[in-house]
Structure formats: C-alpha cells, structure tokens
Copies of this chain bind each other. A is one copy, B any other.
Amino acid sequence: MKLTDKKRMQILDAAEELFHSSGVEHTSMDQLALQAKVSKRTVYNHFATKDALFQAILQRMFDKLAQGGEVRFNVAEPIDQQLRRIAQDEVALLSSAAFLRVAKIAIMQVMQRPELAQLMSDSSLGCKRYIDNFLTDACTAGVLKIADIPFAGKQFIYQLKSFVFYPSLFGLEQQTPAQQAHIIDEAIALFLARYQIKPG
C-alpha cells in the first residue's frame, strides 16, 4: 500500500473515532491530526475542508454496513423460525458498534441541517431491503395474511428499532443478549398473532 493511502486511512479512522466520541462540532482538526498521527497539512491535502472529510466518513461507514445477507422466504420452514433469523440479523446490526456510530453521527447532522434528511431515509440497510419481498412471498404461500405489506414490515422492524436501537442511541441502557432474545420473541409473537393464518 502506498504511503498516501495509508495516511488517508489513518485520517479516516481517527475521524470516525473522534466524530463519534466527541461529535463533529467538538472535534478540532488539530486534535484529529494528532489522533491520526499525521500532520494537519496532510489532512488538508487529502480533504479540502472539514465538511468534505465528514462526507467521506459518512460514505465510508455506509459502505461498510451495506453488506449483509438476505433471508428469502422458504415454504418448508416454520414462519416463526424465519422471522427469528431476520430479527436476529437486524438486532445484531442495530446494536453493533459500527451501526451506532454512523447512526449517531448522521442523525446529529440531520437534526442540525434538516436539508440532509433524505440521505438517511434513502439508504436502505438491513432487512429493510428485502422484508417486503419476504412478506409478499409468505402471503402468496398462504402462511400470512397482510393487507398492507409495507406497513406491516415497518411494524415489525419498528419493534426492534424501538427496543434496541433508540435506547442505545440516546445513551440509555444496552440490552443483554437474553433481553434481546426476549425482545425478538415478543416482536414475532405480536406480529404473528395479527398476521399469521392459523393452520386448521
């Protein structure tokens, strides 16, 4: 790896760390250069302004999170098992340090500069990408009965977000794995009570 690329990475790593722990506003470029073990001039050789660096960080963090497996509906497997896998993946994402970092940074900026709001809603992470297809297939197979599929998908995801994501985001309690399992179980129970077609 070329030296310049290595330095660039050091800068981005430091920015991610400091923007998260201290906020974008409270992170000075001097502090950042120090943390990156790079001269301030080098920072400015790579990024013209603080804002450009911020944009780059956001992009990199989104890219990191973009991957993640897709769960496809399978008629042969019990629906609750499949939903549990989806929910487990989602909870793992929502409670991951990486996701919380980017979310905290992004949300703070969005709240300060509402014109960037679209950026957030556009980015489709986690099970949001495929849940509508999954539910459609489950309905077609006669396992679920849902009138408004996008709405129902939100109901499911929002359960997880509300119990797992927002409390962490606002610095309240984190959940233990046991609590997370309970949250997942209850979200599924709630969802299936409403939408599952009972056999028999």
Contacts and interface: CB of A to CB of B under 8 A. Distances in A.
Copies of this protein in the assembly total 2
A49 interface: no
Contacts of A193: 190, 193-194
Interface in A162-177: 162-163, 166, 169-172
Contact-residue size bin, chain A (C-beta under 8 Å from the other chain): 20 to 34
A114 interface: yes
Nearest to A196: B193
Contacts of A107: 111, 170
Residue with the greatest number of chain B CB neighbours at <10 A, chosen from A114, A169, A171: A171
Interface in A85-141: 104, 107-108, 110-112, 114, 117, 120-121
A25 interface: yes
B163 A117 contact: no
Contacts of A121: 170, 172
Nearest to A194: B193
Contact of A154 (B110, B162, B170, B194): B162
Contacts of A25: 25, 112
Contacts of A114: 171
A161 to B, nearest CB: 7
A42 interface: no
